């Protein structure tokens, strides 16, 4: 069945549908990862986006319930060059196309994704509409004009949990046993309050793996509610869209960083920066993929990182007497990490739990644990 993708500048791409029938609007972006499309589909940071995979063949490993990063797909639409409908991976439980149909996600194949990616790189990420039911360009353009886009929108409330809960699904997944690694009660040393702004579940597994008992809080939980549980540390998760409208979260972060060791990832990093007086700006086409080079300034070490964000902190917008930039992106020089010089607070723009490159960034979770240990021993 025919499908069509229309961008806000009038550029069109025709192809074949392999997902759900219907149409969706979103910001059209590209991801350069060669593997991990299932994690991309279920990462809440992609809410509000139509994702294009630059790797040409997608679907060959199918999907399985163990590699989900959240309860359901979070993308609005999916664009690929060639879809493989016959997965061969032994862990697969169903083809990607069947999964997308079940979940109501439109998808299009037989698109020149190289041309689409080059167009986005030249013009910037832009609004788009993907349809399998309406092929009238004028009609689709009118629908696009009514779509507000991501800037100024609070998408976090669409992906955050409704009420707090304790994470009970264990640590990192073990392929040999086929289940998450359980953590013995006598190994639990720290209590962590984790804000869910659209959190990937592998982050929770890493915290548990390090002896943390984790309570997950909704995005709008007050700082007072969090502190009532007397956590040893506070974690600020990744999430979708523009951080500027999240005034409630910024106000809570301002209070919490004065009280507890705090670690933020992705959107959490941006919220830390905003709470420390920083400013945000929208990237031309964002950082999305598993091959973003990031340099840690203190050591000179370069990490190959996994990223998914369309906004970034402005360099120089925070007080250098209080805040130190710790990491920078080697492609464009943007701020990838920061720490407060006197408070136990740090954050990174990338995803250390994704283990994208040879220089593993998981040590950042250990740094968070060290901060909590230092507070407990003080």
Catalytic residues: 266, 351, 353
Contact in structure between 67 and 99 (CB atoms under 8 Å): no
CA distances to 55, 324, 357 from 304, rounded to whole Å, are 18, 21, 4
The DSSP output letter for 275 is H
Place of tokens 């136990």: 344
Six-digit token pair at 108? 């299009």
Total Cβ atoms within 10 A of residue 334: 19
Rounded-to-integer distance, Cα 119 and Cα 32, Å: 15
Q: CA angle, 42 as apex, 104 and 72 as ends, to 5°? A: 50
Residue (of 67, 11, 70, 23) closest to 44 by Cα position: 70
Rounded-to-integer distance, Cα 107 and Cα 236, Å: 31
Q: Which residues contact 365 (CB under 8 A, 6 or more apart)?
A: 206, 207, 210, 263, 352, 353
Residue (of 25, 68, 67, 65) closest to 47 by Cα position: 25
Six-digit token pair at 7? 């961008």
CA distances to 64, 79, 81, 255 from 17, rounded to whole Å, are 22, 10, 12, 48
Contact in structure between 42 and 103 (CB atoms under 8 Å): no
Strands 233-236 and 190-196: parallel
Six-digit token pair at 163? 């009420």
Q: By CB neighbour count within 10 A (0-12 exposed, 13-18 middle, 19+ buried), where does 252 fall? A: buried
Q: Where are the beta strands (DSSP E) in 219-268?
A: 233-236, 262-265
């Amino acid at each position: 069945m025919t499908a069509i993708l229309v961008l806000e500048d009038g550029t069109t791409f025709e192809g074949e549908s392999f997902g759900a029938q219907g149409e969706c609007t979103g910001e059209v972006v590209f991801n350069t990862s060669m593997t991990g499309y299932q994690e991309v589909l279920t990462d809440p940071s992609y809410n509000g986006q139509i994702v294009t995979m630059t790797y040409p063949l997608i679907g060959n490993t199918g999907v399985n319930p163990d590699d989900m990063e959240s309860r359901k797909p979070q993308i609005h639409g999916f664009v690929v060059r060639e879809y493989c409908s016959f997965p061969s991976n032994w862990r697969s439980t169903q083809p990607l196309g069947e999964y997308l149909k079940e979940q109501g996600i439109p998808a299009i194949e037989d698109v020149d994704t190289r041309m689409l990616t080059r167009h986005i790189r030249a013009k910037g990420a832009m609004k788009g509409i993907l349809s399998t039911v309406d092929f009238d360009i004028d009609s689709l353009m009118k629908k696009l004009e009514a779509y507000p886009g991501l800037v100024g929108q609070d998408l976090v409330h669409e992906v955050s949990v409704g009420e707090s809960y304790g994470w009970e699904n264990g640590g990192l997944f073990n392929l040999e046993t086929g289940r998450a690694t359980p953590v013995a009660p006598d190994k639990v040393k720290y209590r962590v309050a984790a804000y869910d702004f659209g959190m990937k579940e592998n982050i929770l597994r890493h915290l548990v793996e390090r002896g943390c008992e984790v309570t997950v809080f909704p995005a709008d939980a007050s700082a007072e509610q969090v502190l009532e549980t007397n956590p040893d540390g506070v974690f600020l998760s990744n999430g979708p869209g523009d951080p500027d409208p999240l005034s409630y979260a910024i106000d809570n972060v301002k209070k919490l960083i004065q009280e507890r060791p705090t670690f933020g990832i992705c959107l959490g990093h941006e919220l830390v920066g905003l709470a420390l007086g920083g400013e945000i700006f929208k990237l031309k086409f964002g950082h999305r993929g598993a091959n973003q080079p990031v340099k840690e300034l203190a050591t000179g070490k370069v990490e190959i990182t996994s990223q998914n964000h369309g906004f970034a902190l402005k360099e120089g917008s925070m007080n250098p007497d209080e805040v130190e930039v710790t990491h920078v992106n080697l492609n464009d020089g943007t701020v990838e990490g920061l720490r407060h010089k006197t408070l136990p607070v740090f954050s990174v723009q990338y995803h250390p739990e994704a283990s994208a490159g040879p220089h593993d960034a998981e040590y950042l979770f250990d740094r968070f644990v060290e901060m909590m240990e230092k507070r407990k021993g003080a």
